[in-house]
Structure formats: C-alpha cells, structure tokens
Structure 1
Amino acid sequence: MTRIADDPRPWGRLPRRAWPPVLVLLAGGAVLTLVLLDVPGVVRAAPVLAYLAVVPGAACVRLLRLPDRPLGLLLGVGVSLALGLLVSQAMVYLRLWSPLRGLAALVAVASLAACAELLRSLRPAAGRAS
C-alpha cells in the first residue's frame, strides 16, 4: 500500500472536490504576479477585473456548500463586489489607499477561504490514510 507522501505524483491524488480551492490559490498568485511584474495594462486588465469580480466572493460562498450552482455564482459576484467595497472603504478610512494593497487584501481573503475549504475537503482523506 503506497502512502501519499511516497507517491511521486502528489497532485494526482487530490480528490475532485479539492481542485476548486487549489485553482483559487493559483489564480490569486497569477493575478498578483501580473500586477507586481507591471505587465502592460492591455494584458493585465481583463484577468485582474475578472478575478476581483468573481473569485473572492465565490471562494467565500463555496464554504456554504449551496446545492444550487447558479445561485452560488450570483452570490459570489455580489459578495466579491461587497468585499471590494469594504476593503477599499477600510483603506480610505485608515489612509492606506493603494490599489496593490487592495488587491493583496482581496487575494488574502480568497486564499484564506480557499485554504479553509481545502483543509475541509482533505480532512476525511487524511483520516483514512492513518
């Protein structure tokens, strides 16, 4: 019997429900990389705006495990926009306004939600392997 740590393909052993949070984490890293490398605005605008409009809220809404996917997507967009407003208002109030800080804060929120979902989805598999 092969343990997960001995498997040369660790990503091949991820359960199907673990892939969405992994993709959220990868998308956050990709968007931050685009901004930090100062990629031209023509290339950067669409991925960053799509990320800001969908991913932070969708990552948070996925924690609710709603049975209706279209409802989850709509709620994700609404929560993303609300989170964007809350983060920007907090930065203005604290006199720390910066688009990069705002993006980093929203990536952090999405990453925390994705990590929580990932841990929840991997917990039963870790219990069986012991």
Structure 2
Amino acid sequence: MRLASIRIGDLLLLGALAASCFGSFYFLWLRPGIASHVLLFQNGQQVLRWPLRLERTVTLQGPLGQTIVEIRAGRARIAADPSPRQYCVQQGWLQRPGSTALCLPNRTAITLEGDSGHDSLAF
C-alpha cells in the first residue's frame, strides 16, 4: 500500500488551519481586556468603586484589622492584610477585568471590572 504524496494545496490548507487555530487562541485567550474600575467589598457589600486611572490608597477595616488596597498605574493590589496566610497579598497586581483578590478571614475583596472582550464566560 502506497501513501498519497503531499501536494502544495495540502500544505496551504494545513498552513491556513494552523494559522486560524493560533490566531483564535490569541484573540480569545491571550488578548487582555481593559479594566476600568476597581470594586472594593467589605462583608459582602460593595463599599467603593474607583477608576483605575486615578491613584489612591484605601484602608478597609475588617474583623482581624486593616486591609490596605493600593490603586496605581491602571492596576490594583492588596498591599497589606492581617490574614494569617496572606493569599490575597500574594495575588499581586491585578490588571485584567474579572481579576479578584479575596481576603476571606478579614472579609474583604477587590475585583476589577471593565471590557473583557468576551460576551460571556463559562466555567
């Protein structure tokens, strides 16, 4: 049994398919959206909505102590928190829409909102 020889049209079709796969991966997953605001939550209630283009440091009081949120250069982070494991501080700078940092022991959270470039997301 003999394998069919590869023709130039086959290579062009294969190249077009590969380019469309890599292009769709970039546009659907790698292209970052633009976050416009940071939302600050305390005890499940929104306490502040602040534009990311304006710099500010906010202190939230929780049951364990103070959580310090830093907003600078179009991004936001939890700079300090009294929680024992510091998971929310380890999140670092958030800059994509939908990014969230939760400090559950201190009942505080921040999330970024803006245009993600997607109509819907499913998990």
TM-score norm. by structure 1 comes to 0.27
Higher Cα radius of gyration = 2
Counting strand residues as a fraction of each chain, which structure ranks higher?
2
Report which of the two has the higher share of helix: 1
